[in-house]
Amino acid sequence: MDIHKTNKAGVVEDVSGIKITDQFRWLEDFGDPEVKKWVQDQNKIVSSSLKDDSFDKFSDELIRYSRTVNFSNPVPSTGRYFYRERKPDQDQSVLYMKKGLEGQPVEIFNPNSKDKSNITSIDFWSNSKSGKYVAYGISSGGNEVSSIYIKNTDTNEVLGDVLANCRHSPIRWLPDESGLFYAHNPKPGTVPKNEESLHMKVYFHKLGDDQESDQLIFGKDRPKEDMIGLSLSPDGRYLGMNISLTWSENDIYIYDTFTKEVKPLFVGIKSLLSVRFLSDKVLLETNYGANNFRILSNTYDDIYKPLIEWQEFIPERSAVIETIAVTSEKILIQYLVDACSEVVIFDYKGNEIGKIPLPKYSSLEGISSNREEKEFFYGVDSFLFPKITFRYDPTTLQYVEYRRTENPINPDEYEVKQEWYKSNDGTDVPMFIFHRKDINMNGLNPTLLYGYGGFGNTQTPAFMRNWITWIARGGIFAIANIRGGGEFGEHWHKSGIKDKKQNTFDDFIYAAKYLISEKYTDNKHLGIIGGSNGGLLVSAVGVQEPELFAAVCSRVPLTDMVRFPKFGMAIRWVHEYGNPDIKEDLERILKWSPYHNVKVGTKYPPFLFTTADKDTRVDPLHARKMAATLMAANKDNKILIFTEFDAGHGPGKPIKKIVEIQSLILTFFKHHLGLKL
C-alpha cells in the first residue's frame, strides 16, 4: 500500500473572514468506516516498518526495567497510612491502607484483573479525616471519565454510593465524615457532543444518598470551560472554590456550610490565587504583585476583606513557588531554583526555620502531609536515581529514609549537566543534558531533545526509566526549559503564549542549535520528541526547520490550531493559544499552526505520530490530519502514525501498552539517528 495515496476530501471555508482550505477534514470522523480502515492500515505500516529485531530487543529490556515496584508517598491520617503501590507482576497500581507504619497492608481497591486487558485504573482518591472512609475514582481504557466509589476501611465494605462522570474531581470530606464535596460532569447526552468533559459543577454528597439527590453547590449558569479546585477549613465551615477559565488567572468563591451561602472572595483580580485553611488563619498563595508568587494571610473573622488588606505572610523570593504542604506545626514550600527543587520550612508565624536536604539536580516527588499530623513523607528523584521516599520523624526530628526503588543504573557512569544558551532574542534558557560519561564530544552522538513549553508546566529532573536503554548505549537526552512553562514564574509562562507563542518554538530551535554548536550532535543525529502541547511543539518546529532534525516523534499532539477549540475540552485552551474565531488571533495562529504550514514539495524529516482512540484530552484527529498532510506534501517524506486502541492520553495504561509504544519510538529513533545496539 502506498501511504501517500491518502484520500483527499477537502473543504474550503471562511473562518473569521479568512478563506482556509482543510484537505483532510474527512479524517476527523472516527465513526466513519473509511477513517477506521485508514487508521488500521497505518498501524499495519508501522508494525511492518518498526517491529523488527531492534523493537524486540528494546521491548525485552523495557519489560525488565518496568517490572519493578512503584509506590506513592504514604498519607498519614490518625494512625492510618494510605498509599498506592504497583508490584512487579502488576499492570496497575493498587490502593492500600495500613494501620500503623508496621501494619499489614490492606487492599482498598485492586484494579488488576477487573478486565481482560488490565485497562481499569485508579485516577484519584481521598480519605476521610479519621481514615474510616476512602473515596476513589476509577476509569477504563485511559478515558479518565471516572466513577467515584466509597469504602469503609473498618468493615472493608464498599458502600452503595456511586458518583458517575467525575473527571479529575477534587474531593473534600466533612470533618464528621457524613459526606463529601466533589466536582461532577454532565451525563452524556445531556449536553452537546464533545462537551461531556466540560460543564464542571460542585456538588455535596451525603453518604447513603443517591447521586441524583446530591446538592448543587456551585456552577449553575457558569461558563462551560470552568476548571475547579476545592479546599475546606478544618471545622468544615468554609469550602474554598478556585474557579478558573485560564491558566493565568482565577476567581475564588466561598461556600459557607453553616449559612448555605456562596460568596465571592476574590473575583476579577486577574492573577493566580489559591486559598488554604489552617487552624488559626487563612493563607493565600498568589502571584498578585509577585511574579514568583508569595503568601498572604488573614484571620477567619476578616476573610472577606479586600485583597489589598491581607497581610504579607511569606514574601516573594527570587525562586518561584512550586507547591505548598502543611503539617500541624510547619508550612513546607517547594521552590524551583533553576528548575530544580528546594524545600524551605516555615513555622505558623511565617518564619523560616530550616530546609529539607535535597541532592543536586533533583526534584521533589510530592509531600504527603496532614494539617493535623506532625509527621510527613516526601519523595525525591533525579536523572541518576529513581524515587526515594523519606519520612520526617517528629520524635527524633530526623529525615529518615522510608523506602527506595532499586536503581537499575550505576550513577557513577553517567553525567548530568545544566547548560544555558541564548535564544534568538537573546533570552537565556537552561537545558538539562544527561549522558554516559564516556561519550565522545565529536558531534555525532544520537541525541534526543525534549520540550513542553505550555500552561505554566515545569520540566524538572526525573528518573527516565523508559530511556535507560537509549542512554546506556551512548545516546544523549536533553530537556530544554523553554518559555511557556512556569520554571521562572508567570512572566516565563506568558512569554510563550498567544501572540508570543513563537518564542516557545524559537527557544526549542535554539536549544537544538546549541547542542550542535557544542559538538554533542549534528543534524543527522538529532531527534526531537514531545507529547500533547509538546507534540504541538515538535510538530511546529519540525515544519519550521525541516533540515535541523533527523527525526521527529509527536505524541498525542495538537496540530490543527484553526479547529482545535471545537473538540472536547480544548475550548479551555484558547487563552493559551489564541481564539481562531477572532480574526487577529487567527492571523497569528496561522503563522505557526503545524497543519497549516506544511509546504507542498518540501522534504520533511521522518515523523512518527502516536495517538490513542480513547484520548479525551487531545482528539486523535490532530495526529491523523497532520500525518496525512505531511504524506501528501512530498512522496519522499517518511511519515508514520500509530494509534493505540483502548488507551487514552497517557494515564492508566498497562505495562504491555507502555512498552509497545515506547519500543516503537526507540526503534524509530534508532533507525534514523544511528544508535548502535
The span from the CA of 148 to the CA of 391, in Å, is 30
Nearest 5°: the CA angle 307, 312, 317 is 120
Residues with Cβ within 8 Å of 291's Cβ and at least 6 positions away in sequence, in order, are: 316, 320, 489, 490, 491
Strand ranges inside 146-226, DSSP E: 147-152, 157-163, 171-173, 179-184, 201-206, 215-218
For residues 151 and 136, is the Cβ–Cβ distance under 8 A?
yes
- Which candidate, 250, 301, 303, places its Cα nearest to that of 274? 250
- φ, ψ dihedrals at 432, nearest 5°: -85, 140
Say if CB 295 and CB 289 are below 8 A apart.
no
Q: Which three cell numbers stand for residue 415?
A: 553525567
Nearest of 420, 476, 472, 430 to residue 453 by alpha carbon: 430
Q: In what order do the strands lie in the sheet with 639-644?
A: 414-422, 428-436, 476-480, 447-450, 526-531, 551-555, 607-612, 639-644
Q: What angle do CA 297, 253, 571 make, to 5 degrees?
A: 120
d(C-alpha 241, C-alpha 264), whole Å: 9
Q: What's the rounded Cα separation, in Å, for the pair 606 and 650? A: 23
Nearest CA among 411, 407, 459, 456 for reference residue 431: 459
- Exactly one of 297, 532, 593, 663 is catalytic; name it: 532
Look up 532 and say whether it is catalytic. Answer: yes
Please state the φ and ψ torsions of residue 455, each to the nearest 5 degrees. Answer: 60, 20
- State the distance between the two ends of the chain, measured CA to CA, in whole angstroms: 30
Rounded alpha-carbon distances, angstroms, from residue 190 to 186, 199, 203: 7, 11, 17
The two beta strands, 607-612 and 639-644, are: parallel
Residue 452 CB partners (closer than 8 Å, separation 6+): 459, 482, 484, 485, 530, 532, 533, 534, 537
In the sheet with 352-356, reading across from the earlier edge strand, the strands are 320-326, 330-337, 340-347, 352-356
The set of residues, in sequence order, having a beta carbon less than 8 Å from that of 213 and lying 6+ positions away, is none
* β-strands 147-152, 157-163 pairing: antiparallel
Look at residues 467, 510, 459, 507 and name the one whose alpha carbon lies nearest to residue 486.
459
Residues in the chain: 677
- The active-site residue, picked from 435, 622, 649, 672, is 649
State the cell numbers at 458.
515545569
Rounded Cα distance between 177 and 175, Å, is 5
536 and 557 in contact (C-beta within 8 Å)?
yes
Nearest to 254 by CA among 314, 310, 305: 305
Largest CA distance in the chain: 73
The C-alpha atoms of residue 255 and residue 388 are separated, in whole angstroms, by 39
Residue positions annotated with a catalytic role: 532, 649
